[in-house]
Structure 1
Amino acid sequence: MPPVIHFNHAGASILAPETVELIVAHLRREAELGPMEAGTAAADRLEAGYARAARLLGCAATDVAFGTGHGQLYGDILASVPLKAGDRVLVSRQEWIGNVLALKHACHVSGASMSVMPWDETTAVDVEAVVRSLDPDVKIVALTWVGASGALINPAEALGKALRQAKSGAFYMIDASQAIGQLPVDVSEIGCDVLVACGRKFLRGPRGTALAYISPRLAVSMVPRRVDDRSAKLDVGRAAIHQSAQAVETAEFAVALRLGLIDSLERALSLNAFDTRVKLNALATELRNRLTDVPGVNILDLGRDKAAFVTFVIEGIPCQRVKELLAARGITIGKNGVGYTPFDMDIRGITEILRASVHFGNTDTDIEKLVQAVREIAAEAAEAA
């Protein structure tokens, strides 16, 4: 079976062959030596992963936590933040549904309230308006850096700078799952307290992996809801929670997948993050411009700065059907419904989108094949109308 032409990196990217082999090799060692013995042999490599992640994120290794997915880490961190009745939580319009549910639940059990931050004419977070809305009751400011329903890049660094200048005591949480691997990330410049990302998107890590930055300021005040022998230790008869990012980690994890994530981190570090941004943006811009010229295609991207994907619909044909027709041609793209980003898509009055995301493996020939396939599908839909 020939390999697919993959344009769904924003959903889950295809692993580098070397990463696949590394994961499989460890599974073989588990079968040969025993899982615990193979894990012990990989201990130094696993520990080195914290330093690799710290380099990529711009923080100390003790500020890094690994997990099994974005939702798991985000939810565990959020559940550790003390909230009470009267507290306010501000979220971005582009917030992912998993974050929305976790935030709503946290507000429900604590008595806090949640509201969507103001946005500007491009739909990005309006930093100045957010600052005007701040008061001592604001305890969390949650931002999705790059949303799932459009290529817009939110001003993460500008918002962080504004929160610091306003001397806000709120904890600043960033969903960077769509950003890491395609945008430069430096939490020391952003000024956030939390940055969470899954490994499977532009970072090209395996599914079932994630990483997070947790600021020392937040780490010392967290009250984890779940504790085990990784996040705490027994001290004079009580559970002493580690006052670091380790407080949200679990003792049990898939070693092979963690090793695959570490390999992906090293691959990202071997590249210049700013060069990566330029190259992927050029690919996405080329695809966006060419799809714009296809009759019957409506581009739905918003924002001044755009990420490495293109969102669109084809007139007269459901997005799921387009996805199926492209798959039959050996081309994979993403399809999102309103459930992925409920605030943004509801405000825009759209219920579904197609999303074609690019990475280094995509060539001009790949783009030509995708555009031609979309052209054919759009023409067939127009004829049937």
Structure 2
Amino acid sequence: MSPLDVQQLRDNTPGCQSGIVHFNHAGASLPSQASLDAIIDQLQREARDGPMEAGEHGAILAEKARRAAGQLLNAPTSSIAFASSGSAAWSMAFQALGPWQPGERILVGRHEWGANLASMQLAVQAGAQIEVIPCDETGAVCPSALASMIDANVKLIDLTWLPANGGLINPAEAIGAVARRHAIPYFIDAGQAVGQLPVDVQALHCDVLKSAGRKHLRGPRGTALLYVRPTFLQRLNPAQRDVFSAPWSAEGFDLRNDARRFETSEVSYALLAGLGNALQEVNRLGVERTWERVLRLSERIREALRQIPGVSLHDLGTHHSGLIAFNLAGWDAFELKRRLGLKRINIGANGVAYTPLDMRARDLMSIARISVSPLNTEQDIERLIGALRELRD
């Protein structure tokens, strides 16, 4: 990306004009003015024409968003559903995979997202077991270790691709190859991946993939994507249904034959209008260009952090994402986040509950987290590093 490209992105993003340095894109990124305009325009239509009457236009915008999501993920449009959050999307798909039986096994990476583990407790209550796939010497989930765990009782392999508590990029494609070889359902939590790096669901061999709209996609809060492989769809029996997801026919109420069986008739078309615009912007910019800039900026930050006495980085793996987990000696991560916020610098902070298996394995109570976007600049980095040096001193 050229300096002009970056400046145009920033000029079109109100948050970049506020004087705040935003390094919390993994929590929620900054929307463009065009995304805000799309949301407001749909709300105004609803106020002017009537909310239900404006739904026809909203449905058109929702389908544009669905096509843009399919383009981004290399997926058929019919395989995309929308949800209110990434956790809600994942939980709906997981519950639809049941019912669970005693002795069935769920294999997860050590870095599994806490909300997914919470949803799995329904299976545990039915007698299923959650087992952790061993890591390799770098701390990433090990595909060969996974292969050695496979037996007839494994009902699901689940992977958090880019964990919330560090820069690890798990080998999602290699894990998918194991799952496909043994015909075992494979779910990917791609909440921190979609919009940050290229995502091709065909190459990943996944049956289900979810991502939030508010993170690297720069969409509004309250939106998420759910991909379901078309040939896997019939194995999923959603518990939540209405006349949209299971429309009436001569034989009764039948589930839709596309991913929209996970949607309902009640939806915020305004939010989907904003998400659709955000997805189109990602596609126009090119996620490969985004990924190249994120890698460059995040490595620049990591190098600078290594020069600050008392900073400890918590990266795992050999190749790192734009999520940078660290601690500063003498500082609680949440207090550090608060103090930087007073300096108008936004970062994130995670506790054990977000990634409990990995945090406990590494004896970490909390981590501070910097997450990078193409919106960030060298000047942003200088302000961040300068503020950390001041707090360290």
State the distance in 2 between where 1:87 and 1:235 align: 36
2:377 is the alignment partner of 1:363: yes
Q: Is the contact between residue 106 and residue 158 of structure 2 (CA under 8 Å) also seen in structure 1? A: yes
User: Which whole-Å deviations, capped at 9, do the CAs of 1:280-338 have from their partners, x for residues lacking one?
Assistant: 01110101110110111111122111111211111012112211111111101001011
State the distance in 2 between where 1:205 and 1:41 align: 19
Q: Per-residue deviation at 1:106?
A: 2.6
2:218 is the alignment partner of 1:204: yes
Q: Is the contact between residue 58 and residue 270 of structure 2 (CA under 8 Å) also seen in structure 1? A: no
State the distance in 2 between where 1:133 and 1:25 align: 52
Provide the residue aligned with 1:111 in structure 2: 127
Q: Secondary structure at the match of 2:347?
A: strand
Provide the residue aligned with 1:340 in structure 2: 354
Q: Is the contact between residue 139 and residue 169 of structure 1 (CA under 8 Å) also seen in structure 2? A: no
Q: Secondary structure at the match of 2:253?
A: strand
Provide the residue aligned with 2:293 in structure 1: 279
What letter matches 1:42 in structure 2?
Answer: G
Q: With structure 1 as the length reference, what TM-score do the two structures score? A: 0.95
Q: Is the contact between residue 178 and residue 202 of structure 1 (CA under 8 Å) also seen in structure 2? A: yes
Provide the residue aligned with 1:258 in structure 2: 272
2:305 is the alignment partner of 1:291: yes
> Residue 126 of structure 1 is aligned with which of 124, 138, 142?
142
Q: Is the contact between residue 220 and residue 244 of structure 1 (CA under 8 Å) also seen in structure 2? A: no
Q: Is the contact between residue 136 and residue 168 of structure 1 (CA under 8 Å) also seen in structure 2? A: no
> Residue 84 of structure 1 is aligned with which of 93, 101, 119?
101
What letter matches 2:376 in structure 1?
Answer: N
Q: Is the contact between residue 242 and residue 265 of structure 2 (CA under 8 Å) also seen in structure 1? A: yes
Q: Is the contact between residue 59 and residue 269 of structure 2 (CA under 8 Å) also seen in structure 1? A: no
Residues 309/39 of structure 1: CA separation in 2 closer, same or farther (3 Å cut): same
State the distance in 1 between where 2:297 and 2:373 align: 8
State the distance in 2 between where 1:332 and 1:73 align: 27
State the distance in 2 between where 1:274 and 1:85 align: 44
Q: Per-residue deviation at 1:153?
A: 0.5
Provide the residue aligned with 2:6 in structure 1: none
State the distance in 1 between where 2:248 and 2:358 align: 46
Provide the residue aligned with 2:66 in structure 1: 50
Q: With structure 2 as the length reference, what TM-score do the two structures score? A: 0.93
What letter matches 1:207 in structure 2?
Answer: R
Query: What pairs with 1:292-331 in structure 2 (closer than 5 Å)?
Result: 292-331=306-345
User: Which whole-Å deviations, capped at 9, do the CAs of 1:83-113 have from their partners, x for residues lacking one?
Assistant: 32221111111111100101122332x3221
Q: Is the contact between residue 117 and residue 125 of structure 1 (CA under 8 Å) also seen in structure 2? A: yes
2:392 is the alignment partner of 1:378: yes
Q: Per-residue deviation at 1:201?
A: 0.5
User: Which whole-Å deviations, capped at 9, do the CAs of 1:328-353 have from their partners, x for residues lacking one?
Assistant: 11101001011110000000001000
Q: Per-residue deviation at 1:239?
A: 2.2
Q: Secondary structure at the match of 1:15?
A: coil
Provide the residue aligned with 1:382 in structure 2: none
User: Which whole-Å deviations, capped at 9, do the CAs of 1:158-180 have from their partners, x for residues lacking one?
Assistant: 1112322xx31211000000000
Q: Per-residue deviation at 1:237?
A: 5.0
> Residue 60 of structure 1 is aligned with which of 76, 81, 84?
76
User: Which whole-Å deviations, capped at 9, do the CAs of 1:172-203 have from their partners, x for residues lacking one?
Assistant: 00000000011100001110000000101011
Query: What pairs with 1:176-255 in structure 2 (closer than 5 Å)?
Result: 176-236=190-250, 238-255=252-269
> Residue 7 of structure 1 is aligned with which of 7, 23, 34?
23
What letter matches 1:255 in structure 2?
Answer: Y
State the distance in 2 between where 1:67 and 1:375 align: 41
Provide the residue aligned with 1:169 in structure 2: 183
Relative to structure 2, which stretch is displaced further, 151-160 or 294-303? Answer: 294-303
Consecutive unaligned residues in structure 1, runs of 5 or more? 380-385
State the distance in 2 between where 1:321 and 1:67 align: 33
> Residue 352 of structure 1 is aligned with which of 366, 378, 389?
366
Q: CA RMSD in A?
A: 1.3
User: Which whole-Å deviations, capped at 9, do the CAs of 1:111-163 have from their partners, x for residues lacking one?
Assistant: 22111111111111100110111112111100000001111000101111232
Q: Is the contact between residue 61 and residue 269 of structure 2 (CA under 8 Å) also seen in structure 1? A: no
> Residue 85 of structure 2 is aligned with which of 69, 94, 104?
69
Provide the residue aligned with 2:48 in structure 1: 32
Q: Secondary structure at the match of 1:174?
A: strand
Q: Tell me how many residue pairs correspond in the alignment.
A: 376
Q: Secondary structure at the match of 2:97?
A: coil
What letter matches 2:309 in structure 1?
Answer: P
Q: Is the contact between residue 136 and residue 169 of structure 1 (CA under 8 Å) also seen in structure 2? A: no
> Residue 99 of structure 1 is aligned with which of 113, 116, 122?
116
State the distance in 2 between where 1:254 and 1:146 align: 28
Relative to structure 2, which stretch is displaced further, 303-312 or 345-354? Answer: 303-312
Q: Secondary structure at the match of 1:78?
A: helix
